Structure 1
Amino acid sequence: MASKALVLLAPGFEDLEAITTIDILRRGGIQVEVAALHEDEVTGSRGTTVVADTNLTLLDESRVFDAIVLPGGQPGANNLAADKRVLKRLQDQSVAGRWIGAICAAPKVLATANLLKGRRITHFPGALDANEAQGAEVTDEAVVVDGNLVTARGPGVAMDFALALVEQLAGRETRDAVESKLAR
C-alpha cells in the first residue's frame, strides 16, 4: 500500500517548496493530501494560489499519515506555528514515530511544538535563533535526516528535500527512479 503524506499550507507558504514537494512526492507514488488551514484556497508568498484537497477544519483529527510535510515561507511558517491544530498533529506524529518534513522557515513550527530538543536539523539562515532551536544541533547542510525528521534549508534545495522524503517513505530504489527522470 502506498504511503500517505499530508502537506499543510498556510497563507504565505513558500510556493516553490510546496509545489515541488507535492509534485516529487506524487511522482514517487506517495498519496498526497494537501490541507489548508481554513479555506480550501490558499495563496503563497509569491502569489501562487493553490486549491487544497481539504482544510484542517474538515480533516478528521484521527486520520493517520505516514508523513506530515511543512513548506516554509513567511508568513506561512508563522501562520502554521500559530495554529494549535497543526501543533497537536505534529506532536502526535512525533510520538507515534511517523515522518515529519520541514523546510526553510518551517522548523520554527517544530520549535513551537517543542519537537527540536536533541535533534539534528537545518533551516533557512536566521529562521531560528539559538533559544528557539531548543538545543537542537543546527547544521548548514542542505538536507538533514535525523530519526523520523527531515529538514532542509530553503527553496533552492526543495527538490532534494522532496527526494529525501520519497526515499524515507518509498525506498532508495523509488527515489532513484524518480530522480532519474528529472534530468538533473
Structure 2
Amino acid sequence: MVTIWIPSLIYCFILLSEIQFCNCEEEEEEEEEVLYPCNKTVLIYAPDELEEIEYVTVIDILRRAKINITEAGEFMNFENIITEQGINLIPDISLKELYKFKPNTIPFDGMVVPGGKGIAYVLDSDLAMKTIEKHLKKNKIVALIGEAPRVLSLAHLAHGKKVTCHSSIISNMIKNYKFTGETTTVDDNLITSQSPATAMEFALTIVEKLRDRKSANIIAKEIGYKYKSVIK
C-alpha cells in the first residue's frame, strides 16, 4: 500500500503546486478620481480666422475640468466665425452683446485668446483689446497661444514679463519681453504658448492655474496625455 500511495501523493503535490490560487477576497477596484464642478469662469475670445486646434482644444479641456466657459465671438459678416481652415463655429455670444447684456461677468477668472490670422481682428477691435487689458490689470489669468502674444507687444501691455510664442512673431516679442523659447511659459497671471502642437499642454496649464495640479493630472490621465507641469 505504501508503494502505491507515495507516487500518487507526489503526483498530487506537483499538480497542486502548478495551480495558481486566487485571493478569495475580490481585489478592490481603483477608485475613479472625479472632478467636481467649480465656480471658475473663463472667457474664450473667438475672432474670424482663428487657429481651430488652439481654440477647440482649450474648450474641450476646460469643459472636462468643469470650468465655466463663455465663447465670445467677433462677428464680421454672419453670426458665426470661419476659422483658418474654413470650419464654421458658433460662439455663445458676441463680445459686444457680452458687454451689453452681461457686463457683471467681466472680468472673468481667465481670458484665452487663440492665435491664427484672426489676431488681425483682435488688434482692430477696441473692445477686444480693452477686455484683454482689463483682465491683466485685475490680475486675472490671460492665456495667449501661437501668434496671440503679439497683441501684448502692439498694445504695450505686460512689458517685462516672461513669454513664449509662435516662431513667426519672435522678433515682435524679444524687445520688451523676456522670451523663453519654452513650449509654454507661465509668469504670474500670464500664460503663453507656442502653437497648435502645444495646445494640450497650454490648456492643461490653464486648468492647473485655475484649479490645481491634481485636476490637470486627472484629465491628462483620462485622455492618455503625459502632462508635465511648467508652473514653477
Matched, 1:66 2:120: no
Within 1, Cα distance between the matches of 2:195 and 2:70?
22
Deviates more, 1:103-112 or 1:121-130: 121-130
Name the residue aligned to 1:116: 158
Once the two structures are superposed, the pairs formed by residues 110-149 of structure 1 within 5 Å of their partners are 110-130=152-172, 133-149=174-190
Matches within 5 A, 1:1-184: 1-38=38-75, 39-60=78-99, 61-64=103-106, 65-74=108-117, 76-130=118-172, 133-184=174-225
Greater RCO (CA < 8 Å, at least 6 residues apart): 1
Unmatched runs of 5 consecutive residues or more in structure 2: 1-37, 226-232
Q: Which has the higher strand share?
A: 1
Distance 1:107 1:137 in 2: 12
- The aligned amino acid for 2:197 is G
Partner deviation per Cα, 1:115-135 (whole Å, 9 max, x = no partner): 2311000000022424x5551
Per the TM alignment, residue 56 of structure 1 is displaced from its structure 2 partner at its CA by: 1.0
Shift in Å at residue 110 of structure 1? 2.1
The CA deviation string for residues 43-80 of structure 1, in whole angstroms up to 9 with x for no partner, is 11011211100001200244220000000011x11211
Task: Give the structure-2-normalised TM-score.
Answer: 0.75
Paired residues of 2:57 and 2:203 also in contact (CA < 8 A) = yes
Tell me the alpha carbon deviations over residues 13-40 of structure 1, each in whole angstroms, 9 at most, x when there is no partner: 0011000111101111111110101353
**CA drift at 1:111:** 2.0
Where has structure 1 moved over 4 Å in runs of 4 or more?
none
Larger helix fraction of residues? 2
Indicate the SS of the match to 1:111: helix
CA separation in 2, counterparts of 1:134 and 1:68? 24
Over alpha carbons, which structure has the higher Rg?
2
Return the alpha-carbon distance in structure 2 between the equivalents of residues 7 and 120 of structure 1: 22
Deviation at 1:90, TM superposition (A): 1.1
> Normalising to structure 1: TM-score of the pair?
0.94
Structure 2 letter corresponding to 1:107: P
Q: How many residues align?
A: 182
Identity %: 27
Deviation at 1:112, TM superposition (A): 2.6
